Amino acid sequence: MAYLVFGDREITDRFLKSGLPVVGVAHDTTTALSALKSSTAEDVVVGFPAYEGEEFAFHAAELYRDRRFYLVCDRPTADLWARAAALGVRLIGRRTAVEDVKRASSSPRGSLTGRENIDPEVMRDADAEYQAAKAVALRTLKHQRVAVYCPSGGKGKTAITCGLATVAASWTKRKGLNYKVCVVEGSPPTQQQSVWDWLRVPESVPVDITAWERVEGLPGWDTVERLLVNVGSISRVPDLTELYFLPPPRNLAATVSGETMLRVLGILDQYFDLVVVDLPPDLRYNAALVAVQTSPLVLLVVTPEKPVVKQCQNIVSQAPKLQINLSALRVVLNCPHSPAAVTLDPRKYSEALGGIPSIGPVIPHDPELVALLNREGPPPVLAKPDGPFGRALWQLTGAVLGHEIFRQVERRRGFLPRLFGRRLAR
């Protein structure tokens, strides 16, 4: 009996300390596939978060039918249970993963599904197609800038900004990609800014945007990196080593000109694959207005409250005067205080805002979010990716980046029958 364990460091470390015979671990899917091919271990634990874990576990279980797969999943749906059962994948809880696997190891060791093994040539073709599909999709992940805006404060804009950047940085890191993400605080300095809490960065860091006013020409990467905060090294979250943060001025009396913001964003665009700008409600702040005017994608955060909808309508009506490109706007419906959010239709709010398309799912009320934010450890979207807020942010990030793995794992259902069909038709 031997185990392979794939997932974040928390999962792999727990299994390495459990006393079980773990013969290999992997923190990204590319390394995990290589381990599956080279190892004869019969038991495989998949602990990648959310859709990534589901997609990988089901792909691997379709091919490696002589293995027993365990998928870490906190809140499985009925559909997930059904798909897992069909492929012989056992669902286990994140907190009880080691205990669940130990309990299962005492059960009969026969095949869970009784399915015949796949021809090695078919397996090679399937793995090649899986890798090729990932490579094609990942090409769309390059060079994006997203501004996140809401005309009313306290409506979850900063949580969405930081969640989007965190998920993008973490997911691409686990994929083995050199994908850099930067969060820019585009608001003027205030005494209370939650962006520090969401990114797990202390306010005492000696870096802020005003230092960029002294930068001349196009600086090299060494200079750029010194003018930013590396979130992974500060928060000690390994998956966030490619996530950076540019804080607002430390001096509450300081302001950032639109010219400086334009220059900063122009430089960051040269070095980062994704730049996410957190904006203040008041667009009279020139730095914020410039960010909205020049970003190819602007997430307009709307809540179900009538005053907020009215404020958003006013911004949309003023867009031509403010030189904001309406085609860049996308509605994100956030319901941080509404348990009934799942019943809301984003199209209703899109229509109220002149037909601006919505993007991503409705972000529902999450009763555990405040506790997660105040608890030590990784950011909430990584601490509990299967929670209401975490799952919604993973889906929203997928919609922004345009990658299938975040949206519908079920699209891979029927993959092998299609592959067999093509081979038989040759």
Ramachandran quadrant class, 44 (left: phi over 0; alpha: psi -120 to 50; beta: rest): beta
Structure-block tokens of residue 388: 């209401």
Let me know whether 169 and 43 are in one domain: no
In a domain, 128, yes or no: no
Count the domains in the chain: 2
Mean pLDDT value of segment 93-116: 71
Q: Which of 86-95, 174-183, 336-345 has the lowest mean pLDDT?
A: 336-345
Let me know whether 63 and 172 are in one domain: no
Please name every residue paired with 293 in a beta bridge, in sequence order, or none if there are none.
none
What is the reported pLDDT for 153? 86
What is the reported pLDDT for 204? 84
In which domain, by residue range, is 72 found? 3-117
Let me know whether 177 and 74 are in one domain: no
Let me know whether 180 and 103 are in one domain: no
What is the reported pLDDT for 189? 67
Q: At what angle do helices 120-138 and 415-424 cross, to 10 degrees?
A: 120
Is residue 113 scored above 70 in pLDDT? no
Block residue for tokens 């306290």: 154
What is the DSSP secondary-structure string of 371-417? HHHHSSSS-HHHH-TTSHHHHHHHHHHHHHHT-GGGT-GGGGTTHHH
Cβ neighbours of 159 (radius 10 Å)? 27
Let me know whether 348 and 211 are in one domain: yes
Is residue 160 scored above 90 in pLDDT? yes
Let me know whether 197 and 57 are in one domain: no
Let me know whether 73 and 199 are in one domain: no
Structure-block tokens of residue 344: 């809301």
Cβ neighbours of 45 (radius 10 Å)? 28
In a domain, 125, yes or no: no
Let me know whether 109 and 164 are in one domain: no
Is residue 130 scored above 70 in pLDDT? no
What is the reported pLDDT for 424? 43
In a domain, 123, yes or no: no
In a domain, 77, yes or no: yes
Mean pLDDT value of segment 211-224: 90
CATH number, domain containing residue 168:
3.40.50.300
Is residue 262 scored above 50 in pLDDT? yes
How high is the mean pLDDT of the chain? Answer: 83
Let me know whether 48 and 194 are in one domain: no
How far is Cα 261 from Cα 284, in angstroms, rounded to an integer? 14
Question: For the chain, what percent of residues have pLDDT higher than 70?
Answer: 83
How far is Cα 219 from Cα 16, in angstroms, rounded to an integer? 43
CATH number, domain containing residue 100:
3.40.50.2300
Mean pLDDT value of segment 171-195: 80
Let me know whether 210 and 297 are in one domain: yes
- Give residue 412's pLDDT band: very low, low, confident or very high (50, 70, 90): very low
- Give residue 266's pLDDT band: very low, low, confident or very high (50, 70, 90): very high
In a domain, 26, yes or no: yes
What is the reported pLDDT for 300? 96
- Give residue 138's pLDDT band: very low, low, confident or very high (50, 70, 90): low
In one-letter notation, the amino acid at residue 164 is: L
In a domain, 126, yes or no: no
**DSSP class of 273:** S
**What confidence tens digit (pLDDT) does each residue in 354-398 have?**
999 999 999 988 888 888 888 888 899 998 888 889 989 999 998
CA distances to 65, 119, 127 from 423, in Å: 20, 12, 14
**What confidence tens digit (pLDDT) does each residue in 293-334 have?**
999 999 999 998 899 999 999 999 999 999 999 999 999 999
Let me know whether 110 and 151 are in one domain: no
In a domain, 287, yes or no: yes
Q: Which of 99-113, 276-290, 323-337 has the lowest mean pLDDT?
A: 99-113
Let me know whether 152 and 257 are in one domain: yes
In a domain, 406, yes or no: yes
- Give residue 107's pLDDT band: very low, low, confident or very high (50, 70, 90): low
